[in-house]
Chain A
Amino acid sequence: AQSVTQLDSQVPVFEEAPVELRCNYSSSVSVYLFWYVQYPNQGLQLLLKYLSGSTLVESINGFEAEFNKSQTSFHLRKPSVHISDTAEYFCAVSDSTGFQKLVFGTGTRLLVSP
């Protein structure tokens, strides 16, 4: 069975400051790792994913995450946040079979203030 832990339920940060949202996972098999973002009253959108290959993955809006197998982590980082980044962020894991049954963490609410 797989599980995901997001230790921080809420992360307040000032605009243009760097941020890191932490994610640790547990699995006995090879996994795919994801970060999803949820804006208020909307569904989830895929932010970035790790399937294989390079352990550093990037999104189009400046976020990046690094897969660390030895520490079973997939932390999300951004060097300079904007007000528009205020949202809830979910880390998720799935096994590498075709069904892609996602197991989500409990989410981290990122609050960016001016």
Chain B
Amino acid sequence: NAGVTQTPKFRVLKTGQSMTLLCAQDMNHEYMYWYRQDPGMGLRLIHYSVGEGTTAKGEVPDGYNVSRLKKQNFLLGLESAAPSQTSVYFCASRLTGFRFQPQHFGDGTRLSIL
């Protein structure tokens, strides 16, 4: 019963490098989200997806791209990493429906950019 799995758990990058964070969920959830968590700022929404092939911008989308080619996967890309993107990144997913469905969170990816 994996739930939401984030890969990798830790990564150190140099400024200007690129990388992709993977979020995988095995609960057949339609909605998926990417957040970043910074000290003293709580979690902020980067991008979200309401289904396969669709994505939308959240509160802080600049410097990030996302893709949802398969329902179970939501990828977050950094094309040219900057020190300001040092953060802990969380993925979440949830079902849709008329009744409230909570978001299920992964354990996070700690990303440091030097």
Contact = CB atoms under 8 A, between A and B. Distances in A.
A94 to B, nearest CB: 10
A78 B99 CA distance: 28
Interface residues of B, number: 25
Contacts of A104: 42-44
B68 interface: no
A46 B48 CA distance: 19
Interface residues of A, number: 23
Contacts of A51: 100
B43 A102 contact: yes
Interface in A1-29: 4, 6, 9
21 contacts: A6-B42, A42-B108, A43-B4, A43-B90, A43-B105, A44-B92, A46-B102, A49-B102, A90-B42, A99-B48, A99-B50, A100-B103, A101-B45, A101-B48, A101-B58, A101-B59, A102-B33, A102-B45, A103-B59, A105-B42, A107-B42
Q: What are the 4 tightest A-B residue pairs by CB atom distance, in nearest-first order?
A: A43-B105, A104-B42, A104-B43, A46-B102
